[in-house]
Amino acid sequence: MVVSGRHPATGESVAVRVGNGSIERVEPAAEAAERYISPGWIDIQVNGFAGVDYNRADTPLNEIARSIEAQRETGVTRFYPTVITGSRENMLGSLRNLAKAKRTLDDGRAMPGFHVEGPWISPFDGPRGAHPKEHVRAPSIDEYRRFQDAAEGQVRLVTLSPEHEGACPVIERMADDGVAVAIGHTNAGAKAIADAVRAGATISTHLGNGAHAQVPRHDNYITHQLACDALYASLIVDGIHLPPAWVKVALRAKGVAKAILVTDAVAPARCPPGIYRLGCLEVELLPDRRVELTDTRRLAGSALSMDCGVGNAMRFAGVSLFDATRLATVNPAAAVGLRERQGYLEPGQAADFTIFRLDPGGAVMVERAVLAA
């Protein structure tokens, strides 16, 4: 198979030759291409999509398959289904259901692993975000083992708050197992954040969100994470969770190489306005594309898709097309240890591609996404 397109870094047309699911070589194309080609986009935080909720133990597998195809239409070839804070029974049941989907669906390989966001987060209003307070609890190695058993060993990313006593030994254990550990929904101080990084934390989950409405001007958990060179920062670039100026500042602080685009999408993504479910929570997608809890009106995930996120990164922060696609490809792959995807259109890398164009206004228009066998 040969896949052709313009390389986002140079604008030159390239032909990518594929064999046995990997890139064999990249060479100049015989004819000029009109469309761009990049590695397939990766989203490491997806709670649901196209009306499908990953936070239920009874979500039908054919519906999960449909949501995978819907994400592919937005350029995403691989994603990490995300299970948020809930009862132990529901979290374990949701992970078992996702593990069965990964194991049995033809498109199951689009899910390289699962993201567990909570329940080991801050109990305080603000940092807790939309997560239900009654199910927040301290981290434990025993519960981590239960998550992995339910997920058939497929938990590859965990978000927690290091403000909990005993968090560091759990972080160390997960890091030793090759699980990426992220700091998020946190009220932790500078020392706790530094201790977590020394223990093995490497990512900040949706930095700038899951936070108090007001924090101390200088000494706060957002600044400490921005200043930590060891931490990747994932960002929800929908214009709702973060204003454009903040995105620009965050990318300058972290550098393009240490930033990641995520959608934090929930079931209403790619759906009309209305009432939907996020696990045990009721959420509403409003006409302006905000997703809120129906009782408190707090933000509860997003309706963002990755094609819009890539375009917004260019508009909000002035980054190049190449850099915007790095935020959705090689950076998330490096952050979660997905080795076969850490090179940008390089021989030996997995043959995942997103083919897209830019409309006259700069919007990203996905034509197709390929996850080669």
User: Do residues 77 and 95 touch, judged by C-beta distance below 8 A?
Assistant: no
CB 157 within 8 A of CB 182: yes
Specify the DSSP class assigned to residue 108: G
Task: Tokens for 264, please give them.
Answer: 């934090």
What are the strands of the beta sheet with 2-6, ordered from one edge? Answer: 22-28, 13-19, 2-6, 36-39, 352-358, 364-371
User: Which residues form the catalytic set?
Assistant: 264
Q: What angle do CA 138, 139, 142 make, to 5 degrees?
A: 125
Backbone dihedral region for residue 302 (phi beyond 0: left; psi -120 to 50: alpha; all else: beta) = beta
Which tokens is 182 given? 């992220």
| R_g of the chain, CA atoms, integer Å | 19
Complete DSSP assignment for 259-302 = EEEE--B-TTTTS-SEEEEETTEEEEE-TTS-EEETTT--B-SB
Q: Kindly state the greatest CA–CA separation across the chain.
A: 61
The span from the CA of 41 to the CA of 135, in Å, is: 32
